[in-house]
Chains A and B, each alone.
Chain A
């Protein structure tokens, strides 16, 4: 977005505002109903540790589901 600021006034005439509808932050079901924010934060784990991590009780089941072994 372009904006010019002069004397504490902002001129938006050269720019355009990106409306929230244009950015899809959500996963959607078949009825286009918004489910959860489409943000994945997964921890990459060396594949050599896969067996050790899966057997360990140092990580919760929820954590283990988020690990990506590669």
Chain B
């Protein structure tokens, strides 16, 4: 698994995106850090962050990409992605489960269920219900006004995050970090960028979250274009220094303050 964060900033005029670079595969079960981009640019105003099983996400993106145009509104783009996700899941169910039983589509299975032993039909139906791509995609799209976020989850549903979306096995750690920092979508862009970096660092203790970081900041410009700023190694190094100084735990100093406040058990 992974961690992906998309946080609105500057009153939704900007968004800060972050992810790790860990690759996890279900079959064969393997994890490794790789210089792969989990923040995928679909058009100048539409980006997708990938969590979970990456190869499924890449196939869904390749399926949806030819149908996505920059001039579509965010909802149209979200619906195209949703359909691609659901269609891809259906195709995999047919290819990996139903075809071996002599069915060439889900409709074929449904129409011929009556002719099957009812127990077997129910068992296959139960199996289809369990089929999960283990893939979560955060969708980030701009219109003429602002940035919109949605999270695309199993079995092809769109969830509406409020100010930020966190996904992957580091989701809880990143969310707690942003809650603790009282993150708001009205936050200044520099502060927002640091707080998202901090949330990613905190998520690194979760299983399956890699230490490498990719960060992109997108901002709506006055001329309507979207400015993309990809954080460099130097930028990330500076944020890491801030993180170290903010989170340094000097137990001697803590002890001194406790003594000063006369706290003693």
Contact = CB atoms under 8 A, between A and B. Distances in A.
B29 A58 contact: no
Contacts of A37: none
A61 interface: yes
Contacts of A46: 101, 120, 123-124
Interface residues of B, number: 23
A21 interface: no
Interface string B88-127: 0100110011001100000000000000000010011011
Contact of B127 (A53, A57, A60): A53
Determine which residue in A48, A49, A53, A63 has the highest number of CB atoms from chain B within 10 A of its CB, and name it. Answer: A49
Nearest to A52: B100
Contacts of B123: 43-46
A13 interface: no
Q: Is the interface on chain A under 10, 10 to 19, 20 to 34, or 35 or more residues?
A: 10 to 19
A57 B130 contact: no
17 contacts: A43-B123, A43-B126, A44-B123, A44-B126, A45-B127, A49-B97, A49-B124, A58-B93, A58-B131, A58-B132, A58-B133, A59-B132, A60-B26, A60-B132, A60-B134, A61-B29, A63-B132
